[in-house]
Amino acid sequence: METTYIINPNQALWEKGDFTRIAESMRGSGEALVNELGITKEHYVLDLGCGDGTTAIPAAKRGAKVLGVDIARNLVEAGNLRAKKSQLSNITFQHGDACNLQLEDHSFDRVVSIFGAMFAPKPNEVAKEMVRVTKPGGRIVMGNWIPDDPTLVAQLLKISSAFTPPPPEGFISPMLWGVAKHVIDRFGQAGIPEENISFLRDTWVFHYSGTTDAFVRDFKMYYGPTMNAFEAAKANGKADDLQFELEMLFKRQNTSTKSNVTTIPATFLRVTVDIPA
């Protein structure tokens, strides 16, 4: 009898391209953010939706024991390879689903998710899982893109969505993680009082060694949501329109004065959740 495998759509999305190519432009901001979080060698850190380790590896370099979990197996493999090249024995990457973590209760001093868990399809389950695996007195830190924000990523996703078919019924936009009231409600359902949740509008900087057009090309070739948008646009004869809109977006957002360097700041919502002791 033939076995049928059900493919997780979220896993398929993030395994579709090669996010490591985009992550290369995020390394500096990843290190800077980790340096602000007060992570020490005393901490056991879970980086959820870790990609290939943009924040997980800097946390390990600060001496913390780190577990990186991601839905995309290719990114898990890339993370373990980066850790090996950096000769870090205090970090491991493994495959996992933020909606259903196969991890023990109250295991981690810090749970970090920077533009990762926000894309998981069941946000209430994500909040419950993050709270469940964090130790009493521990802390959760999320970085989430903000809907309708004028900066790069929100606009990139907004433009891309205009060229793709409507989402299926019941779809919950990942961008709602960038709205404080939704964050408060989700963690509230996980048992966290509102006074234990704080917010900060922060800036993430993409630094790319190349032109804005080359950066757009990388998103087109390697970033799952943009790849899907181009496939849909091509089917409708609108691929050139999408290409033009993204090239104009990246040119407008670029703050670099060098022709072969692209520097684009993007605003995000930093969420800090303190778990009651």
Tens digits of residue pLDDT in 76-129:
999 999 999 999 999 999 999 999 999 999 999 999 999 999 999 999 999 999
For residue range 40-52, list pLDDT tens digits in order: 999 999 999 999 9
Does 4 have pLDDT greater than 60? no
Average pLDDT over residues 194-205: 98
- Measured between alpha carbons, how far is 77 from 7 in angstroms, rounded to an integer? 19
Average pLDDT over residues 174-202: 98
Average pLDDT over residues 247-263: 97
- Of the candidate ranges 7-11, 84-88, 171-175, 239-243, the one whose mean pLDDT is the lowest: 7-11
Give the pLDDT score at 99: 97
Q: Of 274, 2, 1, 250, nearest to 138 (Cα)?
A: 274
**What pLDDT band is residue 181 in, cutting at 50, 70 and 90?**
very high
Does 162 have pLDDT greater than 70? yes
**What pLDDT band is residue 156 in, cutting at 50, 70 and 90?**
very high
Give the pLDDT score at 263: 98
Quote the pTM value. 0.95
Give the pLDDT score at 7: 62
Give the pLDDT score at 8: 83
* Long-range contacts (CB closer than 8 Å, 24 or more residues apart) made by 44-47: 44/107, 44/108, 44/109, 44/110, 45/108, 45/109, 45/110, 45/111, 45/112, 46/103, 46/107, 46/108, 46/110, 46/111, 46/112, 46/133, 47/112, 47/113, 47/114, 47/116
Structural domains for the chain: 9-146+169-207+266-274 (3.40.50.150)
Give the pLDDT score at 106: 98
pLDDT averaged over every residue in the chain: 96
Average pLDDT over residues 22-39: 97
Give the pLDDT score at 214: 98
Does 6 have pLDDT greater than 70? no
Does 5 have pLDDT greater than 50? no
Does 159 have pLDDT greater than 60? yes
Does 180 have pLDDT greater than 50? yes
Asked whether the beta carbons of 125 and 188 are under 8 A apart, the reply is no
